[in-house]
Structure 1
Amino acid sequence: MALETLLAPVTLLRTLTLAVSIFNLVTFLWLASTVWLNGDHRARITLWGVVGLALSALFFFVHALLITLPLDQPALRPLLNILWQAAWFPALWVPYIWFAIGLHYASLINAGWRRRIPWLLALGAVLGTALLLLLLLNRRTFTFVETLQLLAYSTPPPSAGRAWISPLFLLPLLFLVYVAFCAIGPWFTSSRIQQVVVAGWRALGMSLRARNRGGSRPALRRVLLEAFWDDPTEVELLEEPQLSWHLARPALLLAALLMVALTIGLGLAGLWSMLRWLGRGAPLLALPPLDSIPSGLLLLDLIANLVVALIILVIGYSIVRHGILIERPLARRGFFEQWRGIVIVATAVALFIALLVSLTHSSLGGLLCITCLATVAYALFTWSSYRAHDRYIALLGRFLSSTSLRHWLNTSAEKSERELEDLFFSLCQSVLAVRCARLVILAGPMRRTFSYRWPADARFNGTELPRRGEGMVSGETDALVRLVPRRPPGGRGAGTPLAYRLRLRLASGEPLVCWVMPLYDERGLVATLFLGPREDGGTFTKEDMNLAQACGQRILDTIGDHEAMQAVAALLRRRIVDVKLLGAQQRRILHDEILPQMHLALLHLETLRTVTRQEGQEAARMALEEAVELVSTAHRQLAALMRATTPGAPYRLEREGLVQAIRTMLEQDFRDAFDEICWQVDDETAAHIDEVTPPAIAELIFAAVQEALRNAARHARGSDVHRRLRLTLQARCDPDLEVVVADDGVGIAAADAATSGTGGGLLTHSALLAIAGGSLTIKSAPDEGVTVRIYLPAEALL
């Protein structure tokens, strides 16, 4: 075809219309495939969405064939009629499916729609069935060519009756009512329209009054939007899929309004042709031959296709951005980028195929089939790439998760090593997919190896590598260090890891080529990672090396964290033991040494006092009696102090348990500190807490509660010493442990103005609880008291 022929108005319109039709076909088919591949197949709404999008793609497949087939060949007339009648099925079903989907989502937020759904669906079904019956009963009359003649020249078939209630006149009218009802049915009800009208009228009245008085006028747009979106549920309380529907509603409403505008335009064009025919006295006897679609109808078709393309863009945005129809979490940012990509690709493919058909007269059916297969393949590629990405992230989940320090008080070294072995096993098997690997730690207190299917007889330079569980001796360490190049400049992690290949030899004589990767930190070379061949025989890429280095470093960091936490735990346990021993030693010295010595001194003084009485030495007798009185007074005071001194926290906890020890402390140490004590812990909860709380954790909680009580007793009254003070203590364990100490005093801010030392000691206890995996939070307001919340999750109690 010459360029002049291609630029002819009719040919150019047909080419552009074909391009837009193919664009709609590709985008609808990609959306249908994406919803099916990524959606929740158990949700009926997903299945409805797939069917509706697939039927839309089928409609534009048929449409593209109809506008390219010649009309002046009698042999093609049956094919044209079959395609024309095949387009009726998606044209009738797609609006109804759109209608059902809109009703489903509208009922998720507003319960009033649930009562309307049955009769609204029934009314839409009645309209659609009537339209379908009207088409089926007159399908011989309304053929494709005759329909074009009616729209172009207002000349109906000879068998059509001239009447206002004839099928020829009722079809466009009924189609207009049906599609408009299905498009706006989920959005507009009589009550909603009434609300919008009333709100708009009131806003206009207020605006006029404000203009006359010179005041501020209300924003009409905001008033109308608030009246239209009259959902009873607060947005902050919405969850999926209600939240997705709420976010997508403006775009979908725009699509519905565009659909209504398109339907009204097409319906009015059909009615105008009917009115011209009804107003004409006699039909045209000589009709111009129809060898192709007239340019006026092509222009109208092009405009309709462009409006549908805009509707597709809006619907596709709602699907890939907000997850409409998918009913499950979606990588929305990634799929939104894929949606933009498919729009660009569909535009390019549509223009290419339309130009190819116009210039070479190629078979459009085969090209459309190939395009459909390519679209489905592209959707499969998008789906598989994101599934692979999700699987890869799941494999790396153990390395990406935060290092937990909650078990540092009760986690043994053996358990930590088993967890690190599992981590190394996951790295080698799931992430890197190697046949064998070994991580040799050269620095730090845990100098050992982690192996994954590593041959026991592997040697390098005549030296056997350490076996699993064995430490590194100095000679082996020096040999490994000599193998590794010097640390790269720039400190830890600078540049690309210095990985290199090394040939090992097995006892059987077989060579084993592995990659050696040094791992550095501030101390220098701390570990060496040996990676054997990959399972698939492939090579390691730079990304694989970087990933292996990062995961190996993560294992070393985990070891370092564990060692640091174990050191802190050991220091804390030693401090607790020292406190126990010191308290026991002081009581023993008082009870076993000081008090017996004072008692013996009293006995000797009593003996001397008897002697001085007999000899009559008055002055000596008086001095001796005074000394006896002083020693007796000191003895009584020390004995009373011994009886009054309550045991320390470890003794209370061992004898009574955590909850009862706290209650005993309240009754004895803080007996006169509070006017009212509200104890809100039942016996069953107290027994459960004592059962599940380890001793070290119990001592931390006891000390934190003691500090909170001490702060409340000293500072809660502020400057008013006669202020009535009420203390509340709560505890629960289901399964997380929570202890709350609350008073109704002046609060921290008010206490700071009148006293000093208002709870600063709780910071130390908060740090200790944080190390143990828990938390200590303080909530206070002036004249509302202080609430101290001690929280430990169930994992920290194991």
Structure 2
Amino acid sequence: MITGNATLDWALISVSLFNAILLLWLGLIVLFNAERRTWGVLLLDGGLLLGALFFVSHTVMLGHEMTTTVSWGLNFWWQIGWFPVILAPYLWHVTVLWYTGFWERGSTSLRRRHLAGLVVTSVLALGLVFLMLLAHALPTYTQIAYRNVADVPALRGIPLLFLLYPPFAFLSVVLPIDALYRPEPSARMMGDLARRRARSWLIATSLVLLAVGAAITAFFAWALNGYRMIGGVYFGWENEIASFDLVLSTLIAGGILMLGQAIVSYEIFTGKALPRRGFFRHWRSIILLAAGYATLASWTLIYEPRPIYSVLLAALLVIVFYALFSWRSFVEREQFMARLRPFVSSQRLVNGFLDSSDRPGSSAAALFEVICADVLGATRARLIPLGALAPLAGQPLAYACAPDDPPVPLPRALFDDPQAGVLPLDASQSAGLEWAVPLWSERGLIGVLLLGPKQDGGLYTQEEIEIARAGAERIIDTLAGEQIARRLTDIQRRRLAETRVLDLRTRRALHDEILPELHRVALELSALPSSEPGTGDILRSLTQIHHQISDLIHTSGGVFVSNGQGGSLAQSLLALVEGEFADAFTSITWRADDPGAFDPLLHEVVCSAVREAVRNAAVHGRGSQPDHALNLCIEVRREGDRLVVDVRDDGVGMSFGARPPDSGGDPSGGSGGGLVLHSTMLAISGGELVVESPANGGTRVVISAPV
């Protein structure tokens, strides 16, 4: 027991251990996460680790009873603990000057204001270190206990160390407050904004350190003049000192929490351009862990349960916190996946360029709204395509922006630096937008994402910007790809229509002009005397040409048509199969429903696909057994607003089983190119073609198209 008051002792050790854990964690995290380990970062890190060392020594000293019997170990930790007390304020002073731009440029107002103060604090720090190391100006714990300070350098009975420390601590804490209020402009991206946001936390930290220094000074005065003595040994002051110590430790704990909040919320010392959300979550976790562990460990020291109970409690604490950490990691993963879901889900691109009723870019606009509202929490945003993809991606996308907002002047660095992260915009000309995020691809700059302030007034985190950048780049690619696909689809549709019209014109000319003329010539020849030489041969040739042209009208290009009259699909397919493939199958089973009105262009595409499927069955259905029986079944039915043509045979099938039509050739030697072509034509027209081949043989081709 330290004071004999269990509650007070418990609180003392808990707060001291809590401070040691937090300072050690902050020091290591800043060191490991610093973008560049500059001397300023190392100074801050040294100050944090020295603070952790002080509270380690402080906790060890609290583990000893306040008696006249002082061990060597207590004297050792007493000496060690004073080095952080002296150096930490100085390191804080130098670190704040570095952070506010004291050494970044030449002669600046900040340097002119603080150069003299820095020289004074440096001289005082060197003097204090000299007094401790060489002059042995620090009384030992035994000398303090017996009030025997005659052997240490003193002025009028007051140790020099106690005289120099108060002005040193005061200057080291007050001067940084002025530097924080009036810093130099930051060269770091978003550095000025981070300084403004973190300034209140850092100034509060300095004020807490100032209060601690004032309290230590008051304690020195009281310790040298106000002790009650019995037999030359201090007696009866344990509770007063312990209470004072608890107040100081609690103040320092508040300062550590404020400093940690500034570090993790704005990454002001790590050099990162943007804070990271995960960094802040780990900070909250270490606070809970430090509080829980310090409370439990101090309880076991004060109440001294059996060692087995201490071990069990420590094990339970580790298990509980690890379970909580795992649970939070799982929850964060679920939240992360929920944010990613709009990016990895289907963007309905095929429907977008096949369905003429679908507004171009609607899926991209919806995805952009998800990025701005759910991922970034932005008040407003714009996505502007640039570079080679700008003509394809179309007009900029806007979120919560007025249609009449003026164009935003883009920073020049946006076009010059591919490594630029987030660039500030001119607030007077940006219509409420504050930041520009460049978007790059292999082809160069493809766009820029303009962001307004966050809805909660905070800073955008590194994770948010990275997700937003990836999403915005995908949106521009999606818009460009969708536009290319729409244009190619429109071109293909026009080509099909033009081909159809040209085919009808050709057949009409053959039917209305060429065939009548051939018929007239044949009649004139037939009226000539049969004795004329060669008349019969010419007449037979003309008749044969007449029949060939007539057949060509019915089967132009190998695709069956009903003389351009557009008969029903069922009739066209029946005439096609019976006219070309009647002798290719052992039997043909036909089932057909009336599909109703049908687009003439789609009529021809479906007929071509059915003919290719039937031809494949006729050519490859028997495989290497030409005498094998081969039966064909064709079914035409309507399913809702779609027409389905089901072509099945019981041939040898495909050894690859069910597969898409573009997966390669079949085992009988077909290339599969015909089905690939027709499946593409159907897809352009809004239909589809699926090929199935069961393991027991046979092939099934299902063709569907919108009615």
Higher relative contact order (CA closer than 8 Å, sequence separation 6+)? 1
Please give the TM-score of this superposition, normalised by the length of structure 1: 0.42
Which structure shows the bigger proportion of residues in helix conformation?
1
